[in-house]
């Protein structure tokens, strides 16, 4: 289940939104390792490339390059691969005890001028080792050229639900 909390408006002011996905069968302690693995986000969302550019895994300052590709001319192995969308994203804060991280989108070709997001894994029980948690993905950004606020918020909600589904499947396969 994914829920959206809309805090922004369609205007020139900052856009602010948050989506929440519940994972009822898995604990926050089980889910957090998937979120904190900053340079492997391509395992959870439809990206073709996610590489470390610089920095140290698990530490603020880490920069990742994320991209989607499309096939150009040619057949099979000879097909030309072209970058469609790309962004450099910098890890600003990571707190494994509180289970949250914050990152910003830097250089990109998608129209983001200023975008900062926070992802949190919150236990729904007092004991983080016991099943039941939720993931929150909040963001604050300048209006994005070519997008409406609701479109961006819907994208975050849809993507977060996909992340939750993939984490649930990965944990159940590991058990």
pLDDT averaged over 10-residue windows placed end to end, the chain, 175 residues: 49 89 96 97 96 97 96 74 95 98 97 97 85 96 95 97 98 90
pTM of the complete model beyond 0.85: yes
pLDDT score, position 129: 78
Helix axes 149-174, 28-36, angle to 10 degrees: 120
Dihedral angle sign, alpha carbons of residues 10, 12, 13, 16: positive
Q: Are 125 and 132 in contact (CB under 8 A)?
A: yes
Residue 68 confidence (pLDDT):
96
Q: Residue 174's CB: how many other CB atoms inside 10 A?
A: 7
C-beta separation of 137 from 18 below 8 A: yes
Instruction: Give me the pLDDT at residue 91, please.
Output: 98
């Amino acid at each position: 289940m994914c829920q959206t909390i809309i805090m922004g408006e369609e205007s020139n002011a900052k856009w602010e939104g948050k989506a929440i996905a519940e994972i009822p069968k898995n604990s926050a302690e089980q889910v957090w390792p998937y979120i904190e693995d900053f340079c492997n986000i391509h395992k959870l969302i439809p990206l073709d490339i996610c590489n470390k550019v610089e920095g140290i895994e698990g530490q603020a300052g880490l920069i990742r390059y994320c991209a989607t590709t499309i096939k150009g001319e040619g057949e099979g192995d000879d097909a030309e691969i072209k970058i469609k969308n790309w962004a450099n994203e910098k890890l600003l804060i990571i707190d494994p005890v509180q289970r949250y991280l914050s990152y910003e989108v830097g250089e990109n070709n998608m129209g983001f001028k200023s975008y900062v997001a926070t992802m949190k894994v919150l236990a729904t029980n007092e004991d983080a080792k016991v099943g039941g948690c939720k993931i929150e993905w909040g963001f604050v950004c300048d209006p994005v050229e070519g997008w409406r606020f609701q479109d961006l918020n819907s994208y975050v909600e849809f993507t977060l639900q996909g992340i939750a589904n993939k984490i649930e499947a990965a944990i159940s396969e590991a058990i």
